[in-house]
Amino acid sequence: MIRRENVITTNSAWEVRRLPRPRKKLLDRLVERAAALAGLPADFDWELDVRFVGDRAMARANAEFVGHEGTTDVITFSYFDDPDSLFPGEAAVELIICIDAALREGAAREDSSYSREMVLYLVHGLLHSAGEDDLSPGPRRRMRRREREVLAGLEKEFDFAAVFPGA
C-alpha cells in the first residue's frame, strides 16, 4: 500500500504592487513544513488561503472581522473545529497578512527583517489555527515559545529572503 502525504494547497492573493510576490513553489513548501511543525492536521488534504495586503486593506479587515480600529500584522480564520464540514475547494484556514507591518517591524527590530516577519506572521496564523492563543499571559508565553520553535525549524530548511524577496 502506498501512503500519500497529505497536501496543503496554498492559494494566495498579493495585493501590494511595490514589492515582488513570494516565490510560489518555495511558499508552498514553507507552508507545508510550517503547518507540520505547528501541529496542524496531517490526515487529510486541506487548503490555506492567504491575502497579502497593505495597511489600508488590513485596517478595513480588522474593523470588519475583529472589531478593532487600525492595522495589525495577521488575522486568522480557522475552520478546523469541524473538518468533516469542509468541502473540496474550501479553505480550512484563511490568513490576512499585512506587508506594511512586516516592513515596519523588520526594519525596527535588530533580530528581524521583512522576510522573517512575513514568515513569522504565517507561523503565527498557523499556530492560532492549531489552537494556540495569545490573549492572556500564560498562553501568550506558550505561543511565543512555539513561534520560536517553528521559526527555528524553518530556518534550517529555508532562506526566508528567497521566499519573500524584495525589501
Question: HSE of 135 in the Cβ direction (CA atoms, 13 Å)?
Answer: 4
The x, y and z cell numbers of residue 74, run together, are: 495577521
Is 68 labelled a binding residue? no
Any known ligand binding at 124?
yes
Nearest to 36 by CA among 3, 73, 76, 8: 8
Q: What are phi and psi of 11, to 5 degrees?
A: -110, 125
Please state, as a whole number, how many other Cβ atoms lie within 10 Å of the Cβ of residue 57.
Answer: 18
Residue 66's region, left for phi above 0, alpha for psi from -120 to 50, else beta, is alpha
Q: Are 15 and 57 in contact (CB under 8 A)?
A: yes
134 is in an annotated binding site: yes
The strand ranges marked E within 34-159 are 46-53, 74-78, 91-98
Q: Are strands 8-14 and 46-53 parallel, antiparallel or unpaired?
A: parallel
Residue 115 carries which side chain, given as an amino acid letter? S
Residues in the annotated binding site for Zn(2+):
124, 128, 134
Residues in the annotated binding site:
124, 128, 134
